[in-house]
Amino acid sequence: MPRKAQTWADYDTAVDQIILAPTDSDFLDQLIPVLKDASASSRTASLVQSLSQYAQERESDIERIGLTKHEEFLGSVNQLQKVREGTVILTSEILDLNQSIQASTEKLAEQKQGLVNTRGVRQNITDVSDALKDSLKILHAVNNAHDLIRKKKYYAALKSLDDLQNEHLVPIIQNKYATQYKLADLIQKSIPDSQKTISKAVMTDLNTWLYRIRETSQFLGEVAFFHTKLRQDRQRGRVERNAFLSRFKLNSAIELAFDENNDFDVLDNEDVQVDFTPLYEALHIHEALGQIDKFRGDYAATRRQQKELLLPNTVDLLSDDDDASLRALLESIAGFAIIEKATMQRAPQLRSSLEVDELWDSMCQTAINLITNALSGVNNAEALLKIKPVVGLFIQTMDSWGYSVSMMNNLQLTLFNKYAELLRRRFSDDFQEIVSTDDYMPMAINTPEDYEKVLSVSWITQDKSPEELTFPCVLPFSQMYPLCCIDIRNLVNQFYFFSASDDHFQHLSVIDETLKRSLDELLTQRVCQSLVERLSSQYLGQIVQILINLEHFETACQKVEQLLIDTRSSTSAGGPVTLAATEQFRENKKAAEKRIFEVVNHKIDDLVDTSDYDWMATTKPTKPSSYILTLTQYLPNIMSSTLLGLPREIKELIYFDALNHATEKILALPLSPDVKKINPNGVEAMALDVKHLTEFVLGLDNAFMLEPILNELQETVALMKLDNHEEFFDISIRNKKYGRVNEKKGFALLEKLTQTVDNPSGAAAPFANFGSRFGLR
């Protein structure tokens, strides 16, 4: 360490030290500091003055000594003179030296000042260097943070900014006099912008990721559907090996347990990989920035926008590939919803179940509206059979992800209702065409093969086997019956085929009820009602065929009731199935029978109306009237031809009703107001006809049942032939012989009877006024 320069306030002491220096080097050592300090002109003068004063004092001392010691003084004077001379010389040298020293001192001062300045500059340089090093550290940290941002290492960049702030900026900013304060303050103010840059960069990457997964949604849904289809196939295989497993549907605990060895990650497989790293990074960054609430809101808004972009405005269900548009829609929704569910599972703080379910419900409702609107243009039931499995696959896939599928289950019900409506419309047209184009003739069968085909589709009971029949043969019903039976079977099969196309339809009981209602509607309105409308025909053969068809349809309905019991779903309520059509066919059978009676009776009316009896004939008839002959021929003819296919009991009823009606009509002939008198020849003509009719009835197989119908007619003829009419007035005899003759009608006939043959308009017959006696008029 350099020695500090000595300063002199009093040069007398300095002069003593200089003069008393034992050697020249010491002399100079004492003189140089004084000269250095005396560099100023005023100080130099003081030094010279001190030296002069010192010389004077020494001279005084010399004089004093010389006076006392002269010789010594003289010697001293000489010596002093020499000293003086030496002093003068020395003074001169000192002055020269002083000038030299002064010049050196000035140069030294300049050099020292330069050195001082240099040291200051060096110190400044050192300080600047240190400041630059600290600044470089700060800038390096800033550059490192931005370099990490460029390298997409956002969290590391954020951590770097945080370290920069805590380790460098905060200590500097706290010391406002620090050299790097302005730089630190500037960088500190730029950190929010850097953080915002990181946030924007993260969101840019996240938006890119969101765009990619939106574009991947449909393919992700397609992969999920394919995986679900494989699960369905595996479950069907298990059911085929073990029927007990049919009780357990897809996504049931049993099915999941069986399928656990076939683990498949729909988000990470050979076909599709969904990397959630950008989402995690964005979430982590915004948590670090304290912006998690804002990020959650922005993310939710973005996903809602993507949902809107994902869903089309319309769905095409009428293209050649009917399910392509619908499949694309449902696959996109499935992929989107799977991403949402996976996001909720991986980042529950970002997506809540409520938000995910709201998006799911919104997408489902939109899809349902699109599909429902598109259904209005679908007129082909088979198209719905292609649509329904896609919807079922979608339901089962999303059910496995824990989504509520009740809305989509209701969509399946909508699809089924549309399907049922289209089937009803188609089969209604089919039934209508079958009924309207039928020839209403017994169906002819030419070969055993045709017979077997009819037996296989129709509900008929044959007493004879095909081997016992002779072909060609005729079946009692017309061809409309087997054709309708085919349609009934097809309708049942197609209804249940809707639920058979997948195993997730939850409304099986609705199928049962809708099928029953549809069959009732078709059979009653399109078949039964159409047949009843044709009963107005006057063609007896057609009416008979309608009756036979109605009877077979009644049997078919009973068989269909059992078929519905056998084919209905196992989950439906038990108990019998009753078709209203069964009772309709049964009731309208009676209407057909009644109509047959009406037509037969109408024919009888026509025949009896042609009787043309001559009640006052002048000659006795010898043979029955032509109308009674025609009547007795007509009845057996229609029984053996037109009515041949009718059951025996119906034929008996027809005979019974026809004979009863014929009896009434014949009885009404003599009672007609136009008939005023009846002579014995007229009575004989009627008696011959009654006899012929009786003989006809007695020749029938069931004569014992039909003969009583003629009793009134027979007793009436016997009464008209009676000579003693008084028997009729005797109640006991009347009840015994003429018990079935109406009392008033009997008296009316007796009043018309006359024995006059020649003059039918002549004298009154005996007992002409006997009725008045009994108050019968």
Give CA separation, 242 vs 247, 379, 478, 480, in Å.
10, 39, 46, 43
Complete DSSP assignment for 541-582 = HHHHHHHHHHHHHHHHHHHHHHHHHHHS-TTS--S----HHH
Give CA separation, 134 vs 111, 121, 169, 190, in Å.
33, 19, 10, 18
Structure tokens given for 368: 């349902």
Residues 543 and 432 in one domain: yes
Tokens 């694309």 map to which residue?
328
Per the structure, the count of domains in the chain is: 4
In a domain, 169, yes or no: no
In a domain, 604, yes or no: no
Residue 202, φ and ψ in degrees, nearest 5: -65, -45
Strand spans (E) along 320-460: 443-445
pTM of the model: 0.69
Tens of pLDDT, residue by residue over 107-116, are: 777 777 777 7
In terms of Cα–Cα distance, which of 696, 635, 687 is closest to 661? Answer: 635
Count of other CB atoms within 10 angstroms of residue 571: 10
Model confidence at 233: pLDDT above 90:
no
Residues 6+ apart with CB under 8 A from 79: none
Residues 627 and 551 in one domain: no
Residues 6+ apart with CB under 8 A from 681: 614, 616, 617, 618, 619, 620, 621, 757
Residues 61 and 112 in one domain: yes
Residues 468 and 573 in one domain: yes
Tens of pLDDT, residue by residue over 12-62, are: 677 777 776 666 666 666 667 766 654 555 667 777 787 788 888 878 877
CA dihedral over 383, 389, 391, 394, signed as positive or negative: negative
User: Domain residues for 78?
Assistant: 11-149
In a domain, 156, yes or no: no
Q: How far apart are the first and last CA of the chain?
A: 178
Q: State the pLDDT at residue 630.
A: 93
Residues 567 and 631 in one domain: no
CA atoms within 13 A on the CB side of 203: 16
Residues 575 and 683 in one domain: no
Q: Is the peptide bond before 708 cis (omega within 30 degrees of 0)?
A: no
Q: State the pLDDT at residue 770.
A: 40
In a domain, 194, yes or no: no
Residues 373 and 436 in one domain: no
| Cβ–Cβ < 8 Å for 272, 223 | yes
> Mean pLDDT over residues 168-175, rounded?
59
In a domain, 392, yes or no: yes
**Which of 385 and 584 is assigned the larger pLDDT?**
584
Residue 469 gets which letter from DSSP? S
| Cβ–Cβ < 8 Å for 220, 339 | yes
Residues 6+ apart with CB under 8 A from 304: 359
Residues 232 and 370 in one domain: yes
In a domain, 706, yes or no: yes
> Mean pLDDT over residues 745-766, rounded?
68
Whole-angstrom distance, CA of residue 73 vs CA of residue 62 = 7
Residues 332 and 442 in one domain: no
| Model confidence band, residue 688 (pLDDT cutoffs 50, 70, 90) | very high
- The percentage of residues in the chain with a pLDDT greater than 70, rounded to a whole number, is 76
Whole-angstrom distance, CA of residue 120 vs CA of residue 123 = 5
| Cβ–Cβ < 8 Å for 234, 403 | no
Q: State the pLDDT at residue 553.
A: 92
In a domain, 569, yes or no: yes
Structure tokens given for 613: 């009896």
Three-class SS string for 1-66?
CCCCCCCCCCHHHHHHHHHCCCCHHHHHHHHHHHHHHCCCHHHHHHHHHHHHHHHHHHHHHHHHHH
| Model confidence band, residue 633 (pLDDT cutoffs 50, 70, 90) | very high
> Mean pLDDT over residues 351-358, rounded?
89
CATH number of 658's domain: 1.20.58
Tens of pLDDT, residue by residue over 60-91, are: 877 776 666 666 656 666 776 776 676 667 66
In terms of Cα–Cα distance, which of 619, 621, 611 is closest to 760? Answer: 619
Give me Rg for the CA atoms of the chain: 68
Whole-angstrom distance, CA of residue 632 vs CA of residue 635 = 6
Residues 6+ apart with CB under 8 A from 626: 610
Residues 569 and 691 in one domain: no
From 397, 432, 460, the end of a domain falls on 397
| Helices (H), ranges, 151-180 | 154-164, 170-174
Residues 373 and 461 in one domain: no
Residue 249 gets which letter from DSSP? -
| Model confidence band, residue 249 (pLDDT cutoffs 50, 70, 90) | low
Residues 341 and 216 in one domain: yes
Q: Which residues pair with 445 in a beta bridge?
A: 473
| Cβ–Cβ < 8 Å for 748, 771 | yes
Q: State the pLDDT at residue 583.
A: 92
From 595, 627, 642, the end of a domain falls on 595
Give CA separation, 745 vs 644, 687, 693, 720, 776, in Å.
38, 17, 21, 11, 10
Question: Exposed, middle or buried: residue 530 (CB in 10 Å: 0-12, 13-18, 19+)?
Answer: middle
In a domain, 375, yes or no: yes
From 111, 132, 149, the end of a domain falls on 149
